[in-house]
Amino acid sequence: MTYLTGEVTVLHNQHQIDFANFIYSAVKFGSTDGTSVIINGSSMTKVAGVTIDILVDYKTTDLGINGQDVYFLGNPRPTLTESIEGGVDEYITKYSILNGGPATNTQINCGTDPSQDFDGDVTLSCWAFPMDNDPGEDGYLIERYVSDKGWGLKQERPTVPAGDTVWAFRIGDNTAPSPFDLLDTTHIEINRWYHVVGVLEGTEMRLYVNGIRVATGASDNPMVHATASQDLRLGSQSGAVAEFFGNLNNASIWTSALTDEEVLEVFNGGRPMDLNLHAPQRASLYSWWKVGDDAGWDGSDYTIPDQVGPNNGITTSTVGWGIRQINAPKLNVDD
């Protein structure tokens, strides 16, 4: 048996590899021959051309004598098995959450855990896919701001000219003039993915788009946290206003200031990374939401787990919006 460790191959016939040593995200049938195979404990009839999105568990997969023309799709990523003593995991994101935009009352509400009441340095990071460049109001990606206290990352809608929105980073230090909004100067293009990061270090504010610092500014004083009753939200501002219109993916917060090099590291060439494994300044990573890939449906809303901290989120107003979709940065399930 030949192991394909290190090779980038997107389509594997089960007869050619020991698939137990790899992780696959889909199964494809290349023939219709009236036979079935067992995949993840379920019997599946082979139908030519059918592709099933499923994370293959080799322990409950048995192709028996019917494995001809059964193909496993996805990155051949080594994992820990009896045959391999060590391995490297590569995070691949496939799903994101579609937020409904102004006046839809859509958001991901992450509650009011007491640990949110931190002051000083902060880094906000989010992948966003904007769908409207002339919304009726600003659209927040991450926000916990009220009464000149807290922070937010948003799509800013200038009054003039209409349609020229930009990314912006907001902080409040509880003194006038506040809030402080640091704006990019390049207009946003719709229907494309952006990685947007806001960093506050002392009083210096830095805004990054796709790994590059695009603006630098300063507040009068370090940030002061929002009041304890203020919810942490993804996709809207407090009070369910200023909803972002578009898809959200992989949002995160650090209670420290990432450097230029560390922001570029998180951008990762345009592909979100597993922050539990690879995050810079991992000790200060406060929250990380995949925002789609691990979302759980309860019949009315999606739950969005916090992979690091206590701030699990739940979508609201999912009728027509708040929908989990196959749409993510650098998405290619066969790549």
Tens-place pLDDT, residues 188-207: 999 999 999 999 999 999 99
For residue 121, what are its two tokens? 């340095």
Q: By three-state DSSP, how is residue 78 classified?
A: strand
What is the C-alpha to C-alpha distance for residues 160 and 304, in angstroms, rounded to an integer?
36
Task: Name which residue leads in pLDDT, 52 or 250.
Answer: 250
pLDDT of residue 64: 72
Task: Name which residue leads in pLDDT, 257 or 59.
Answer: 257
Share of the chain above pLDDT 90, in %: 51
What is the C-alpha to C-alpha distance for residues 267 and 273, in angstroms, rounded to an integer?
8
Across 149-165, average pLDDT: 83
- Using one digit for the tens of pLDDT, what is the confidence trace for 276-305? 888 999 999 999 999 999 898 888 899 999
pLDDT of residue 52: 84
pLDDT of residue 62: 77
What is the C-alpha to C-alpha distance for residues 269 and 263, in angstroms, rounded to an integer?
11
Amino acid at 302: Y
Band (pLDDT 50/70/90 cuts) for residue 1 is: very low
| Least confidently predicted of 110-114, 212-216, 331-335 | 331-335
Strand partners, 38: 43, 62
Band (pLDDT 50/70/90 cuts) for residue 144 is: very high
What is the C-alpha to C-alpha distance for residues 149 and 179, in angstroms, rounded to an integer?
8
What is the C-alpha to C-alpha distance for residues 152 and 284, in angstroms, rounded to an integer?
18
pLDDT of residue 169: 97
What is the C-alpha to C-alpha distance for residues 271 and 167, in angstroms, rounded to an integer?
20
Task: Name which residue leads in pLDDT, 47 or 289.
Answer: 289
What is the C-alpha to C-alpha distance for residues 250 and 74, in angstroms, rounded to an integer?
20
DSSP string, 96-108: EEEEE-TTS--EE
Across 241-262, average pLDDT: 96
Band (pLDDT 50/70/90 cuts) for residue 90 is: low
Asked if 178 contacts 172 with a C-beta cutoff of 8 angstroms, the reply is yes
Band (pLDDT 50/70/90 cuts) for residue 317 is: confident
pLDDT of residue 40: 87
Task: Name which residue leads in pLDDT, 75 or 173.
Answer: 173
pLDDT of residue 210: 97
| Least confidently predicted of 60-69, 208-217, 262-271 | 60-69
For residue 219, what are its two tokens? 């507040």
What is residue 137's DSSP assignment? S
Band (pLDDT 50/70/90 cuts) for residue 24 is: confident
pLDDT of residue 12: 54
Q: Does 93 score more than 60 pLDDT? A: yes
Q: How far is CA 113 from the centre of its chain?
A: 21
Across 170-189, average pLDDT: 89
DSSP string, 237-266: BTTTBSB-EEEEEEEEEESS---HHHHHHH
pLDDT of residue 88: 42
Classify residue 13 as exposed, middle or buried by CB count within 10 Å of its CB (0-12, 13-18, 19+): middle
pLDDT of residue 85: 33
Asked if 171 contacts 219 with a C-beta cutoff of 8 angstroms, the reply is yes
pLDDT of residue 163: 66
Handedness of CA 99, 100, 103, 105 (dihedral sign): negative
What is the C-alpha to C-alpha distance for residues 281 and 285, in angstroms, rounded to an integer?
7
Band (pLDDT 50/70/90 cuts) for residue 333 is: very low
pLDDT of residue 128: 98
Band (pLDDT 50/70/90 cuts) for residue 328 is: very high
- Using one digit for the tens of pLDDT, what is the confidence trace for 107-117? 999 999 999 99
CATH 2.60.120.200 placement within the chain:
95-326
Q: Given CATH 2.60.120.200, say whether it is the number of domain 95-326.
A: yes
What is the C-alpha to C-alpha distance for residues 17 and 131, in angstroms, rounded to an integer?
42
Across 156-174, average pLDDT: 84
pLDDT of residue 78: 40
Residue-averaged pLDDT of the chain: 83
What is the C-alpha to C-alpha distance for residues 198 and 170, in angstroms, rounded to an integer?
8
What is the C-alpha to C-alpha distance for residues 79 and 191, in angstroms, rounded to an integer?
35
